[in-house]
Structure 1
Amino acid sequence: MSNEIYRRVEADPAYQQLVQRRGRLAMLLSVTTLVAYYAFMAVVAFAPHALSPTIFEGGTLTIGAPIGAALIIGSWLLTGWYVRKANTEFDQLTHAIAERAK
């Protein structure tokens, strides 16, 4: 592609909106995931007794295990949400911007 097409794409207000929205969503999901993981690790490191009660009386599985599993599943769900949004809304905007730039 020529430099002229790149300049037209960068000058398109819809492109600026796309970059801003995509970046904002990526930052929000990244921060959410990192805060959740680091909070869990902080509790494990500094207050392990908070996660040590067992789920069932006389059992060996503590509440920390399902919470850890929930963090992993939650990160998968957030990734799926981003992929769905990228494949629908963001791809439509990208296609429209590319068509206008031709």
Structure 2
Amino acid sequence: MQDPMVERIQRNPKYQQLKATRSRFGWWLTILMLIVYYGYIGLIAFDKELLATPIGAGVTTLGIPLGLAVIVFTIVITGIYVRRANREFDALTRDILKDATK
């Protein structure tokens, strides 16, 4: 037996919109992250010479800033998701709950 409140929420068109939008956005970010991460791992596996290329006169190689870029990219897309969730998804959730409690 399901709670009537849950049924009202699930029937709400805003809830369906929230589910679809959040899911689609999450999948796009996941795909981007997988491309960046596995692209870096692919470079490690198949083009070590490129990553071993020295930068300037020091001992730092190209692999170090590329690895840091992967980490920064992860932080950035997390921030993008959080910002959209706080602005759009949370507002939709409030509307859905308000409609369900009427």
TM-score category (smaller protein):
over 0.9
Give runs of aligned pairs for residues 24-43 of structure 1, distance below 5 A. Answer: 24-43=24-43
Name the counterpart of 1:45: 45
The unaligned stretches of length 5 or more in structure 2 are none
Tell me the distance in 2 between the aligned counterparts of 1:42 and 1:30: 17
Name the counterpart of 1:101: 100
Equivalent pairs counted in the alignment come to: 100
Tell me the distance in 2 between the aligned counterparts of 1:25 and 1:55: 36
Structure 1 counterpart of 2:13, one-letter code: P
Which consecutive segments of 4 or more residues in structure 1 shift more than 3 A? none
Tell me the distance in 1 between the aligned counterparts of 2:100 and 2:12: 8
Name the counterpart of 1:87: 86
SS class of match (2:55): coil
Q: CA deviation at 1:88?
A: 1.4
Q: CA deviation at 1:30?
A: 1.2
Q: CA deviation at 1:50?
A: 1.5
